[in-house]
């Protein structure tokens, strides 16, 4: 069975976290703003082909208002215009004006008779501000019309009208949008509904119940604007009425001074009058140019795909190839919303793009750090190899040269018996030294690979330490260093006595080696709960803080130690550390340059030990 490595799991986890962050960021208000901005830009970039519009606006503009005496004269003028249009038989007439109050009797009468004479009229209604009911046209107007429709837009926070809820309800009193009603009336059909869509005259409108039947408006491109004739123009030139023949008319105020009902659209920073927006919604329906939003699940799946692609790119490729592919991934993330739009699908921009950018940056940084770490590690390994070579060439060479020279001496010259004996002894002792060196070198390798059998003796710490102190006494005497042992108690350790003895001995010799003469070395310790603690403290040259961790590396010697003139190989402490670790313990060092060092071993008391491989350092 394939089991991913720790590194792969961590890398995947990091990418997953990045993906979640990117997704969450795209759902913030800023993400929504970016999505809207991009939506508008695509709208402008991708111009749908202009089409033959089916609607026409009967505009109540500034000129008409001043001509007919402002708002007060409006009903009369509208009645007049309706009468003229009716003669041209439009398919439907939607009036975007709330006719809920009575004006003067004369103009109301005129409007009523115009409505009676005009077939297929739809009047506007408005939800009351507290949503407790509908602001409906007066019953005398309403009785002559085919339907009433609401005129609410769904404005985004940036004030741009991108969609209209086709359905609006106050309690159980539900109304369809003015444009939808105009469409239905013009098709002489009825509206059928399912949770997923509406059907009018065999046309499915993708507006789900869950989403208040929100429908995006496919605005008519600026170059193919919906034609507009004002009340005044129609009044001045009655033949213009012919332009309304067979059309769906949207009548309403367009005068900038008279209405607050003007909104921004994705196309233009110049606000469009509400009535024109309703006409655009009608065109969306009539042209069946429905823009549907991609389901969230697909967007999430796309994001996962991008993050995975970015991850794999930097996992399996490197250098310019990786960056090239990464650029490709980012480009795909940028272009998918546009490509989707050309297929009438709105694909949110920010989830994909933020995922692509963040995961590419994160994956690149991760792999960069990983490669760097590997480089640093391999450099350290090369260093250690060089040290090892140094050890072999310098340290081992001395006994080898002695052996070589002595054996040559013996074979070339006739030596006296005594001289012969001397030379043979030298060869013997040097070869033993060489063997010890090789043995030590191999031991540390075997120890760190867990290949060395550890014995399980039980012994008193005090006894072993006392033995070690006796062995180092001559060394200490030479430098006039006093060694004192504080009472160690009677802790008994279970483990490899010989190896632990080596460890204690090494700490003691180091303490003496790296201390000036006439100083003191103190051994202390005892049982501390489950552990036995042994400390060797000196008043020697000390170790720089940054070097403390390094002294356990094979062949590492501090600069101070090198300068001290004391011979050494830098291998002893790495063996000590392996021994302690194999016994389930640890080694700690505190040191201050020029003041001294204290090495402390902490070993579990009486615990059975087993040899296990440890990572070599
Ligand atoms: P060696 O003594 O052969 O160089 P070790 O592995 O025993 O190698 O020690 C590694 C290095 O740690 C030493 O070279 C020395 O720089 C430093 N060191 C160890 N013990 C002491 C100490 N008691 N005081 C100062 N430096 C020490």
Q: Is the CB of 511 under 6 A from ligand 1?
A: yes
> How far is 110 from 63, CA to CA, in rounded Å?
21
Q: Is the CB of 307 under 6 A from ligand 1?
A: no
> How far is 277 from 250, CA to CA, in rounded Å?
10
Which distant-in-sequence residues (6+ apart) come within 8 Å of 166 by Cβ?
176, 177, 180, 198, 205, 207, 212, 213, 214, 215
The secondary structure element, H or E, covering residue 282 is helix 274-287
Answer whether residue 391 shows pLDDT above 70: no
* Ligand 1 atom having least distance to the Cα of 557: 14
- Note the Cα 108 to chain centre separation in Å: 64
Q: pLDDT confidence of 613, banded at 50, 70, 90?
A: very low
**Which of 433, 448, 463 is where one domain is finished?**
448
| pLDDT value, residue 303 | 96
Q: pLDDT confidence of 394, banded at 50, 70, 90?
A: low
Q: pLDDT confidence of 610, banded at 50, 70, 90?
A: very low
| pLDDT value, residue 607 | 47
| pLDDT value, residue 448 | 66
Q: How far is the CA of 181 from the centre of ligand 1 (A)?
A: 93
Q: How far is the CA of 553 from the centre of ligand 1 (A)?
A: 11
> How far is 294 from 299, CA to CA, in rounded Å?
7
User: For residue 138, is it within any domain?
Assistant: yes
| pLDDT value, residue 201 | 92
Q: Is the CB of 543 under 6 A from ligand 1?
A: yes
Answer whether residue 103 shows pLDDT above 50: yes
User: Mutation test of ligand 1: which of 475, 502, 510 has the most ligand atoms closer than 8 Å to its C-beta?
Assistant: 510
User: For residue 334, is it within any domain?
Assistant: yes
Q: How far is the CA of 450 from the centre of ligand 1 (A)?
A: 24
Q: Is the CB of 503 under 6 A from ligand 1?
A: no
In angstroms, the Cα distances linking 20 to 27, 31, 304 are 11, 14, 9
- Give the three-class secondary structure for 314: helix
* Ligand 1 atom having least distance to the Cα of 542: 25
- Give the three-class secondary structure for 590: strand
Answer whether residue 150 shows pLDDT above 90: yes
Handedness of CA 373, 376, 382, 387 (dihedral sign): negative
- Note the Cα 245 to chain centre separation in Å: 58
Q: Name residue, tokens 């499915």.
A: 204
Closest CA to 585 of 601, 607, 608: 601
Residues belonging to the chain: 617
Tell me, what CATH number does 423's domain have? 1.10.287.130
In angstroms, the Cα distances linking 574 to 471, 503, 505, 569, 591 are 21, 10, 14, 11, 18
What backbone phi and psi angles, to 5 degrees, belong to 515? -125, 145
Task: Please state the domain count of the chain.
Answer: 4
User: Mutation test of ligand 1: which of 512, 516, 551, 617 has the most ligand atoms closer than 8 Å to its C-beta?
Assistant: 551
| pLDDT value, residue 1 | 46
Q: Are residues 546 and 588 in the same domain?
A: yes
Condensed to tens digits (0 to 9), the pLDDT of residues 173-204 reads 999 999 999 999 999 999 999 999 999 999 99
Q: Is the CB of 600 under 6 A from ligand 1?
A: no
* Ligand 1 atom having least distance to the Cα of 538: 23
Q: Are residues 85 and 197 in the same domain?
A: yes
More confident residue, 140 or 443: 140
Q: How far is the CA of 170 from the centre of ligand 1 (A)?
A: 87
> How far is 600 from 535, CA to CA, in rounded Å?
4
Tell the residue nearest (CA) to atom 25 of ligand 1.
Answer: 542
Condensed to tens digits (0 to 9), the pLDDT of residues 302-319 reads 999 999 999 999 999 988
Judging by beta carbons within 10 Å of its beta carbon (0-12, 13-18, 19+), is residue 524 exposed, middle or buried? middle
Q: Name residue, tokens 């003191």.
A: 520
More confident residue, 411 or 140: 140
Q: Is the CB of 355 under 6 A from ligand 1?
A: no
Q: Are residues 348 and 243 in the same domain?
A: no
As a whole-number percent, the residues of the chain with pLDDT over 90 amount to: 57
Answer whether residue 105 shows pLDDT above 50: yes
> How far is 317 from 15, CA to CA, in rounded Å?
17
| pLDDT value, residue 276 | 94
> How far is 67 from 266, CA to CA, in rounded Å?
33
Condensed to tens digits (0 to 9), the pLDDT of residues 53-99 reads 999 999 999 999 888 887 778 888 999 999 999 999 999 999 998 89
User: Mutation test of ligand 1: which of 384, 506, 511, 514 has the most ligand atoms closer than 8 Å to its C-beta?
Assistant: 514
> How far is 486 from 500, CA to CA, in rounded Å?
19
Q: How far is the CA of 448 from the centre of ligand 1 (A)?
A: 19
Q: Are residues 171 and 316 in the same domain?
A: no
Q: pLDDT confidence of 614, banded at 50, 70, 90?
A: very low
The secondary structure element, H or E, covering residue 276 is helix 274-287
Q: Are residues 358 and 391 in the same domain?
A: no
Tell me, what CATH number does 546's domain have? 3.30.565.10
Q: Give all strands (DSSP E) within 142-247, no chain letters.
A: 147-150, 154-155, 161-165, 167-170, 173-176, 191-193, 198-200, 203-205, 214-216, 228-230
Q: How far is the CA of 529 from the centre of ligand 1 (A)?
A: 29
Whole-number average pLDDT of the chain:
89
User: For residue 614, is it within any domain?
Assistant: no
User: For residue 520, is it within any domain?
Assistant: yes
Quote the pTM value: 0.63
| pLDDT value, residue 612 | 45
User: For residue 615, is it within any domain?
Assistant: no
| pLDDT value, residue 395 | 65
* Ligand 1 atom having least distance to the Cα of 536: 23
Please report, for the chain, how many H helices and E strands are present, in that order. 18, 26
User: For residue 611, is it within any domain?
Assistant: no
Q: pLDDT confidence of 616, banded at 50, 70, 90?
A: very low
Q: Are residues 513 and 458 in the same domain?
A: yes
Q: How far is the CA of 432 from the centre of ligand 1 (A)?
A: 24
Tell the residue nearest (CA) to atom 2 of ligand 1.
Answer: 568
Q: Is the CB of 558 under 6 A from ligand 1?
A: yes
CA angle 300/317/319 to nearest 5° reads 115
Q: How far is the CA of 593 from the centre of ligand 1 (A)?
A: 13
Q: How far is the CA of 510 from the centre of ligand 1 (A)?
A: 6
Q: Are residues 471 and 336 in the same domain?
A: no
- Beta strand 121-127 with 134-135 is antiparallel
| pLDDT value, residue 611 | 42
Mean pLDDT of 212-220: 92
**Which of 228, 256, 288 is where one domain is finished?**
288
Q: Are residues 319 and 206 in the same domain?
A: no
User: For residue 610, is it within any domain?
Assistant: no
Answer whether residue 40 shows pLDDT above 50: yes
What are the structure tokens assigned to 276, written together? 């024109």
**Which of 344, 372, 400 is where one domain is finished?**
372
Q: Is the CB of 571 under 6 A from ligand 1?
A: yes
In angstroms, the Cα distances linking 551 to 126, 294, 322 are 84, 61, 40
As a whole-number percent, the residues of the chain with pLDDT over 70 amount to: 94
Q: pLDDT confidence of 617, banded at 50, 70, 90?
A: very low
User: Mutation test of ligand 1: which of 568, 577, 591, 594 has the most ligand atoms closer than 8 Å to its C-beta?
Assistant: 568
Query: Which spans in 137-222 are helix H?
Result: 139-142, 178-187
Q: How far is the CA of 384 from the centre of ligand 1 (A)?
A: 16
In angstroms, the Cα distances linking 498 to 237, 438, 464, 501, 612 are 119, 18, 9, 5, 18
Query: Which spans in 120-165 are helix H?
Result: 139-142
Q: Are residues 509 and 554 in the same domain?
A: yes
Q: How far is the CA of 504 from the centre of ligand 1 (A)?
A: 13
Q: pLDDT confidence of 221, banded at 50, 70, 90?
A: confident
Condensed to tens digits (0 to 9), the pLDDT of residues 262-293 reads 788 888 777 889 999 999 999 999 999 999 99
> How far is 64 from 56, CA to CA, in rounded Å?
17
Q: Are residues 69 and 144 in the same domain?
A: yes
Could you list the residue range(s) of the whole structural domain that residue 350 is in? 5-43+294-372
Which distant-in-sequence residues (6+ apart) come within 8 Å of 160 by Cβ?
36, 40, 263, 264, 265, 266
Q: How far is the CA of 566 from the centre of ligand 1 (A)?
A: 10
Q: Is the CB of 557 under 6 A from ligand 1?
A: yes
Q: Is the CB of 515 under 6 A from ligand 1?
A: no
| pLDDT value, residue 136 | 94
Tell the residue nearest (CA) to atom 12 of ligand 1.
Answer: 551
Condensed to tens digits (0 to 9), the pLDDT of residues 488-532 reads 878 888 888 888 988 999 999 999 999 999 999 999 988 888 889
Closest CA to 161 of 67, 265, 231: 265
| pLDDT value, residue 606 | 65
Q: Are residues 82 and 125 in the same domain?
A: yes
User: For residue 616, is it within any domain?
Assistant: no
In angstroms, the Cα distances linking 156 to 162, 252, 264, 526 are 7, 23, 10, 75
Q: pLDDT confidence of 134, banded at 50, 70, 90?
A: very high
Q: Are residues 477 and 587 in the same domain?
A: yes
């Amino acid at each position: 069975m394939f089991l991913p490595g720790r590194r792969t799991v961590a890398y995947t986890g990091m990418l997953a976290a990045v993906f979640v962050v990117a997704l969450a960021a795209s759902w913030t208000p800023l993400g929504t703003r970016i999505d809207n901005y991009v939506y508008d830009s695509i709208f402008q970039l991708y111009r749908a082909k202009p089409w033959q519009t089916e609607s026409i606006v009967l505009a109540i503009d500034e000129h008409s208002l001043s001509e007919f005496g402002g708002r007060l004269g409006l009903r009369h003028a509208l009645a007049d215009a309706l009468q003229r249009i009716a003669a041209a038989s439009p398919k439907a007439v939607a009036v975007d004006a709330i006719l809920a109050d009575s004006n003067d009797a004369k103009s109301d009468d005129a409007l009523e008779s115009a409505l009676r004479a005009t077939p297929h009229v739809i009047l506007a209604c408005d939800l009351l501000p507290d949503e407790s009911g509908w602001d409906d046209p007066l019953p005398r107007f309403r009785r002559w019309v085919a339907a009433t429709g609401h005129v609410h837009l769904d404005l985004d926070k940036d004030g741009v009208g991108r969609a209209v809820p086709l359905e609006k309800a106050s309690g159980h009193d539900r109304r369809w949008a003015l444009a939808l009603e105009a469409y239905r009336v013009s098709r002489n059909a009825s509206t059928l509904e399912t949770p997923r869509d509406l059907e009018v005259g065999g046309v499915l409108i993708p507006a789900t119940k869950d989403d208040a039947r929100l429908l995006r408006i496919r605005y008519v491109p600026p170059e193919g604007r919906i034609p507009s004739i004002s009340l005044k123009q129609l009044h001045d030139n009655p033949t213009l009425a012919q332009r309304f023949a067979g059309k769906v008319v949207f009548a309403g105020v367009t005068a900038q001074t008279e209405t607050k009902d003007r909104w921004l659209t994705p196309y233009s920073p110049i606000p469009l009058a509400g009535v024109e927006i309703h006409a655009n919604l009608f065109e969306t329906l009539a042209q069946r140019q429905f823009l549907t939003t991609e389901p969230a699940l697909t967007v999430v799946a796309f994001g996962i795909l991008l993050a995975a692609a970015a991850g794999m790119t930097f996992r399996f490729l490197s250098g310019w190839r990786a960056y090239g592919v990464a650029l490709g991934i980012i480009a795909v993330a940028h272009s998918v919303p546009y490509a989707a739009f050309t297929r009438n699908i709105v694909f949110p921009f920010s989830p994909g793009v933020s995922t692509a950018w963040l995961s590419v940056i994160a994956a690149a940084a991760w792999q960069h750090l990983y490669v760097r770490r590997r480089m640093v590690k391999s450099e350290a390994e090369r260093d250690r190899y060089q040290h090892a070579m140094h050890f072999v060439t310098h340290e081992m060479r001395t006994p080898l040269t002695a052996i070589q020279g002595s054996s040559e001496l013996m074979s070339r010259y006739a030596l006296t018996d005594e001289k012969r004996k001397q030379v043979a002894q030298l060869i013997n002792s040097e070869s033993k030294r060489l063997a010890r060196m090789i043995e030590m070198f191999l031991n540390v390798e075997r120890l760190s690979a867990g290949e060395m059998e550890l014995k399980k003796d039980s012994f008193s710490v005090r006894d072993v330490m006392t033995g070690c102190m006796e062995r180092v006494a001559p060394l200490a005497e030479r430098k006039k260093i006093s060694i004192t042992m504080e009472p160690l108690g009677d802790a008994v350790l279970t483990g490899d006595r010989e190896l632990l003895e080596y460890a204690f001995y090494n700490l003691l010799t180091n303490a003496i080696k790296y201390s000036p003469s006439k100083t003191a070395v103190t051994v202390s310790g005892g049982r501390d709960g489950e552990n036995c603690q042994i400390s060797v403290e000196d008043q020697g040259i000390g170790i720089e803080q940054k070097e403390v961790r390094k002294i356990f590396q094979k062949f590492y010697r501090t600069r101070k130690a090198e300068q001290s003139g004391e011979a050494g190989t830098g291998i002893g402490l790495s063996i000590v550390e392996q021994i302690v670790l194999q016994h389930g313990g640890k080694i700690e060092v505190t040191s201050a340059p020029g003041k001294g060092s204290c090495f402390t071993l902490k070993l579990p008391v009486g615990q059975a030990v087993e040899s296990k491989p440890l990572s070599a350092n």
